[in-house]
């Protein structure tokens, strides 16, 4: 009884691990660099620095950049990112399924 329960638990965790690794096969990950300019503790400007993608067309880069700017705006008030004065560089990673990414055409 005890060993069958142990086997069941191990199988369950193994299946969960296999399912969790599926996203790597059918998705792409992109790194986008943004910059937040702070003045007196408030965000004054959020800008896009670079979309790191060797095979993206212009439309795909623009869409990834827009999404990164939205995510940077959400992160601007996070205490670990906030500065009194100066610039904060954020590296944002976006994961997109291959099918959705291919749908972004010029």
Is residue 35 in a domain? Answer: yes
pLDDT of residue 82: 86
CA angle 89, 63, 19 (to 5 degrees): 85
Averaged confidence pLDDT in the chain = 84
Is residue 4 in a domain? Answer: no
Is residue 8 in a domain? Answer: no
Q: Give per-residue pLDDT as tens, 41-80.
A: 899 999 999 999 888 889 899 999 999 999 999 999 888 8
Rounded CA separation 33/50 (Å): 5
* Tokens describing residue 10: 């191990």
Rounded CA separation 60/103 (Å): 9
pLDDT of residue 30: 92
What is the domain range of residue 67? 27-103
Is residue 21 in a domain? Answer: no
Q: What is the DSSP letter of 88?
A: E
82 Cβ contact partners less than 8 Å away, ≥ 6 residues apart? 38, 41, 76, 88
Q: How many domains does the chain have?
A: 1
pLDDT of residue 92: 93
pTM over 0.75, yes/no? no
């Amino acid at each position: 009884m005890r060993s069958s329960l142990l086997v069941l638990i191990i199988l369950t965790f193994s299946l969960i691990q296999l399912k969790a690794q599926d996203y790597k096969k059918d998705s792409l990950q992109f790194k986008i660099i943004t910059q937040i300019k702070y003045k007196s503790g408030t965000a004054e400007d959020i800008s896009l620095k670079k979309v790191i993608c060797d095979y993206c067309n212009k439309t795909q880069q623009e869409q990834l950049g827009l999404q990164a700017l939205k995510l940077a705006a959400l992160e601007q008030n996070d205490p670990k990112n906030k500065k009194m004065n100066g610039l904060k560089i954020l590296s944002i990673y976006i994961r997109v399924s291959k099918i959705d990414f291919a749908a972004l055409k010029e």
